[in-house]
Structure 1
Amino acid sequence: METSDPRGAEGEEELASADRADATNKPAPEPPDERDARLAELEDRWRRAAADLDNARKRAARELALARDAERARAASVFLPIVDGLADAVTYAKQVNDPLAEGIESIREQAVAALERLGYPRIDAAGVPFDPRIHEVVSVVDRDDLAPRTVAAVTRLGFGVPERLLRPAGVVVTATRE
């Protein structure tokens, strides 16, 4: 028994045409060498993109750390005039025998402790060799009891470490002997 297509001969031609179109729309299979080369190229691009992302993450982390350190230094530097002012107030209060000297000294120590908590330890040691990375010479003295180029006294507190210095200590240094 024969089924007839209501479209007739034209319908059969349309179906044949559709089958040919489907066959031409499908990509031809790549030869194995070309497929392997394409796969290697895509894998290389993927690895490079992953490496770029990793580098961007590391760069962002470094920049964040630098920005955090810069902001910490900016905030800590606000305390420096306060510490200096309190040191001057303590000196004056002690000269005039003011009983407030101890209270002012306590507040000054709290401000210094705050700077230390921010990562800037005090630089106030006398009797140590002069280090131009953390000391600033404000005066030179002749003293026989100390070796040459030794910190004889600290006139202004310094804060920080050589790698991250907020302010060098103002020091009096012994003269070099010739």
Structure 2
Amino acid sequence: MTARDDENDGPAAEREVIQGEIEETAEETPAEEPAQKPVGAHRAPEEESAPAADNVKPGLGAELEALRGELDERTHDLQRVTAEYANYRKRVDRDRGAAAEQTTGKVLTDLLPVLDDIDRAREHGDLVGPFASVAEQLTAVTGKLGLVAFGEKGDPFDPNRHEAVAHQTSADVSEPTCVEVMRRGYSLGERLLRPAMVAVADPE
């Protein structure tokens, strides 16, 4: 090897040695730890979900209580409306029944003179033939409509149901008693259509 070659190879060899030392130093140097997250940095979704869940539970409880209160209020409203409707139905049925009874009573009251004629014909023995059949049918129809006749000889006198047109005394009675019936009375259910016209005997 010539002196020139030594001169040319010296710096090159020295550079190679320095390069090798740098590489070895880089391999031995540990990797830097990641820098800590600065305060206020963006957190991962997992880190934010925990506090949010704690905040949601009380909110759901309050909302549930509000819904329960509203449900109770609506239930009470429904019960009140149901009761009012039931009372309305009862009132309508009662009024309808009263109106029907009033109409029926008006018709039957108009027929009472005819029934009086039938009673007089029966007492005199004139209720015979076709007239007897018609009279029986009329009596049966009025009975189906609820018409009830009252007033018989021997009944205790009731001023609410009897109209006294004559009075007398008798040792045969212990209380005021109907001893004669001039005209029978009629009622329709609890309604008095006409009192019975009677003669009353008082005890002596």
TM-score category of the 2 structures, normalised to the smaller one:
0.5 to 0.7
> Structure 1 residue 133 and structure 2 residue 165: aligned?
no
Structure 2 unaligned spans of 5+: 1-58
**Residue 169 of structure 1, CA deviation:** 0.8
The aligned counterpart of 2:97 is: 65
The two structures have a TM-score, normalised by structure 2, of 0.60
Structure 1, residues 3-45: CA drift from partner, whole Å, max 9, x if none? Answer: xxxxxxxxxxxxxxxxxxxxxxxxx987222221111111111
Residues in 1 aligned to 2:195 and 2:119: alpha-carbon distance in whole angstroms = 16
For the residue of structure 2 that corresponds to 1:174, the secondary structure is strand
Residue identity over aligned pairs, in percent, reads 30
Residues in 1 aligned to 2:128 and 2:139: alpha-carbon distance in whole angstroms = 15
The aligned counterpart of 2:66 is: 34
Structure 1, residues 83-107: CA drift from partner, whole Å, max 9, x if none? Answer: 223445566xx4xxxx855355665
> Structure 1 residue 46 and structure 2 residue 78: aligned?
yes
The aligned counterpart of 1:123 is: 150
Q: Match for 1:156: what amino acid? A: R
Looking at CA atoms only, which structure, 1 or 2, has the larger radius of gyration?
2
Q: Match for 1:164: what amino acid? A: R
The two structures have a TM-score, normalised by structure 1, of 0.67
> Structure 1 residue 102 and structure 2 residue 128: aligned?
yes
Would the aligned equivalents of 1:139 and 1:173 in 2 still touch at CA under 8 Å?
Answer: yes
Would the aligned equivalents of 1:128 and 1:151 in 2 still touch at CA under 8 Å?
Answer: yes
> Structure 1 residue 85 and structure 2 residue 108: aligned?
no
Distance 1:33 1:53, change over 3 A: same
Aligned-CA RMSD value: 2.8
Residues in 2 aligned to 1:33 and 1:49: alpha-carbon distance in whole angstroms = 24
Matched length: 144
After alignment, is 138-147 or 127-136 more displaced? 138-147
